[in-house]
Amino acid sequence: MTSFLPGLLKNNSVVNYRCSCSKLSPVYRQYFCRYCLCLRCWYCVSHEPDSFFCGNCLESMPSTEAKMKRNRCGNCLCCPVCIHTLSVRATSQTIRDATDPTKNITKKQYYLACAQCRWTSRDIGMADKPQSSGLWQDPENQHLARIEELSEYYQSVATAERLEKERKKVSVRRRSLTMYDRQTGRRRSSFMSSLSSLNLSLSPSVQPPVNAPAASSLADITPLPEEFYTVAMEIGDSTTLLQRHAAPERQPTSIRDLQPLHRQLVLRRNSRCRKCEHNLCKPDYVPSSSKFKIELLALHHVPEIKIVHGYNAIGYNTEERVVLSVTNPSDQSTSITLEPLSNRELNDVTATIIPPSLQLQIGAKDDMAEFDDVVDDEKAVKDDPDIVVFRKTNRIHVVTMVTAHKCTGDVIVALRISYNYTNTATALQNKGESPPAVSQLEQSLIINLGQVQV
Amino acid sequence: MELGDVKYSRADFIETASGNKVSRQSILCGSQNITLNGKTVIQRDCVIRGDLANIGIGRHCVINPNTVLRPSFKKFSKGVSFFPLHIGDHVFIESDCVISAANIGSYCYIGKGSIIGRRCIIKECCAIAEGSIVPPETVIPPLSFFSGTTSAPYEELPECTKDLMIDITKNYYQHFIPS
């Protein structure tokens, strides 16, 4: 079986659906907004940060703590050479007891080791610790004081600018006539009422920003030491650019100066429809869970069309039989109609497809069907074998005829599928008083059937 | 794409009561320690070392030819102990893999020729690229795509990976029919 991963990850699928914004992407990469009743692709949703967690210890962290720790886990350390998570290894050391020289005590000492590149904390001269966690200290950042000074200065400048803007808004409001206080019904001056609502101090000028000392330029630059010209460089001793920039505050040039790094946190996203602002996808708070609190995925609401394996390569100007599979994702049965689309409606179409012209019924999704051996012949739909070659619960295989019109390149056809959609969102809102609304929806899609055979 | 039927000879595979299809050419050591939960397909030339520790494989799993499932061990001061290997439901393992992990969650895809290091924990809905080497003691969070040998921030898989994996593994089993 050829790997399906490239299509899954790179939006490089054979069957692509057209989103409401006219961009094409696979159905498993899209969302379905059941309030707007249309597909939303990756670019039609707004992605918001939902929760942070460490990918190694799977501990979640609130966003304020993540911001304070600069999106790094406090407990998990990474190898500075290969960025793989370090594991703590224990060794035992026998030393003479201080109180009784004849006895020996076995002490456990811990050190960090990388299972991928075999780097250890002993390589940089870090002493073994008596405890497995909590004692691995980060080296001091000599630039920290200067960075904090500058950051305080810029924060005070930003506060001063914001207060200045508020002041200008107040002076604009002064021009309006006296207004009534909504609560007491009395007239009051607009100026005083605006000031009291803003809680500004009545001092004439805003407090000046904290001045940070300016950076000083160097007049004398120390020349390069003689070793750079006379001693041959040891390439094995110098760090790569990636290793250097992984610790930007120190940027060590020698591998002996590398220190373990804290592991970067993983961010879970929350997707929201840009038009109606409803949440389309909200992950579970627990990091080790792959479930979702809200999951409005296109695959669960839109019929999925796939090509059935085993069709002949399509030749130029010859009609070939291609079987498509249509799957109904909902737990209500639906009826679908397939129509071909021309080049005027979708670009890059290089072949025509003739799907069956009649309306086709597809059963509801039934999870228990695979355990049910009894087949009810009376309820079974009788299909024309030239149109529907296979039917099982919520899936049918439909015969189409494809003719390529270009002698080079890929055979690309376009289809429109119309289907009945049962909207359970409105039923939930009315608390079950009204039956769910059934609407007729349409989706356009493009299918790539491979290279044309000359 | 929907796959076509894959036919096998009845003489080549053992079919158990719970629907597991195990190739007669695979090597299952310590079969009393190996648990297959149902409708799992194990292809030819697979080596499953149940003699070292318990191996539990979930429902609708597919293990392609030439894969080795070998539980990992940990050295203690008083000797060596083997970790049990648990594989979840709907896991698709391609051919030529070497798996020493401690735990593989449900709905995972392991690419061809990949090597999963000892005591790794792979959570649900993950995918491992072809030819990748997962270093020992790695934890891969859910919905991640691991490729190469890196443990740097992983790419994200789509949210419907669980449904896609259920579809792939169920279809594989349904199309794997005796000739």
* Nearest alpha carbon to residue A200 among A158, A157, A170: A170
Do A85 and B139 lie within an 8 Å CB cutoff?
Answer: yes
Tokens representing residue A69 in the block: 């720790």
pLDDT of residue B125: 92
pLDDT of residue A380: 65
pLDDT of residue A312: 79
Tokens representing residue A96 in the block: 């003479």
pTM here is: 0.84
Mutate to test the interface with A, among B160, B162, B169, B174 (most CBs of A within 10 A): B160
Mutate to test the interface with A, among B2, B145, B149 (most CBs of A within 10 A): B2
* Nearest alpha carbon to residue A154 among A213, A216, A215, A210: A210
pLDDT of residue A203: 43
> Does residue A306 belong to the interface with chain B, where contact is any CB pair within 8 Å?
yes
Residues A68-115: tens digit of each pLDDT: 888 998 889 999 998 889 998 888 777 766 676 677 777 888 899 998
Q: How many CB pairs under 8 A join A and B?
A: 110
Q: Which residues pair with B85 in a beta bridge?
A: B55
A310 to chain B: nearest residue by CA? B4
Q: What is the mean predicted confidence (pLDDT) over B138-167?
A: 86
CB A20 within 8 A of CB A40: yes
Tokens representing residue B60 in the block: 């609708």
Calculate how close chain B gets to A12, using CA atoms only, in Å. Answer: 13
pLDDT of residue B10: 86
With a cut of 90, say whether residue B64 has pLDDT above it: yes
Do B135 and A1 lie within an 8 Å CB cutoff?
Answer: no
**Which A positions 378-437 lie with beta carbon below 8 A of chain B?**
397
CA-to-CA distance for B97 and A297, rounded, in angstroms? 32
Do B123 and A288 lie within an 8 Å CB cutoff?
Answer: yes
Q: Which residues pair with A394 in a beta bridge?
A: none
Residue B137: list chain A partners with CB under 8 A: 85, 87, 115
* Position B72, amino acid: S
CB-CB: which of B1, B137, B139 is closest to A115? B137
> Which segment of A65-74, A427-436, B67-76, B123-132 scores lowest on mean pLDDT?
A427-436
**Which B positions 41-60 lie with beta carbon below 8 A of chain A?**
none
> Does residue B137 belong to the interface with chain A, where contact is any CB pair within 8 Å?
yes
ipTM: 0.87
CA-to-CA distance for A83 and A261, rounded, in angstroms? 8
Confidence of residue B68 (pLDDT cuts 50, 70, 90): very high
A117 to chain B: nearest residue by CA? B135
Do B160 and A84 lie within an 8 Å CB cutoff?
Answer: no
With a cut of 70, say whether residue B152 has pLDDT above it: no
- Torsions phi, psi for B134 (to 5 deg): -85, 115
CB-CB: which of B4, B127, B151 is closest to A5? B127
A145 by Cβ neighbours in 10 Å (0-12 / 13-18 / 19+) ranks as: exposed
CA-to-CA distance for A256 and A234, rounded, in angstroms? 13
> Does residue A267 belong to the interface with chain B, where contact is any CB pair within 8 Å?
no
Do A116 and B164 lie within an 8 Å CB cutoff?
Answer: no
Q: DSSP secondary-structure letter at A176?
A: S
Of residues A67 and B3, more confidently modeled: A67
Do A55 and B154 lie within an 8 Å CB cutoff?
Answer: yes
- Torsions phi, psi for B110 (to 5 deg): -110, 120
CA-to-CA distance for B112 and B149, rounded, in angstroms? 14
pLDDT of residue B42: 94
Confidence of residue B91 (pLDDT cuts 50, 70, 90): very high
pLDDT of residue A199: 47
Given the structure tokens 């940027």, which residue do they identify? Answer: A251
A329 to chain B: nearest residue by CA? B163
pLDDT of residue B63: 94
> Does residue A55 belong to the interface with chain B, where contact is any CB pair within 8 Å?
yes
3-state secondary structure string across chain B: CECCCEEECCCCEEECCCCCEEECCCEEECHHHEEECCCCEECCCCEEECCCCCEEECCCCEECCCCEECCCEEEECCEEEECCEEECCCCEECCCCEECCCEECCCCEECCCCEECCCCEECCCCEECCCCEECCCCEECCCEEECCCCCCCCEECCCCHHHHHHHHHHHHHHHEEEC
Low-confidence stretches of chain A (pLDDT beneath 50): 1-2, 177, 181, 183, 185, 198-204
CA-to-CA distance for A303 and A2, rounded, in angstroms? 24
With a cut of 90, say whether residue B36 has pLDDT above it: yes
Residue A56: list chain B partners with CB under 8 A: 139
> Does residue B91 belong to the interface with chain A, where contact is any CB pair within 8 Å?
no
Four-residue CA torsion sign, A175, A178, A179, A181: positive
Tokens representing residue A360 in the block: 């086709």
CA-to-CA distance for B153 and B144, rounded, in angstroms? 9
Alpha carbon distances (Å) from A357 to A268, A345, A362, A387: 44, 19, 15, 10
pLDDT of residue A201: 45
Residues A13-30: tens digit of each pLDDT: 788 899 888 888 888 889
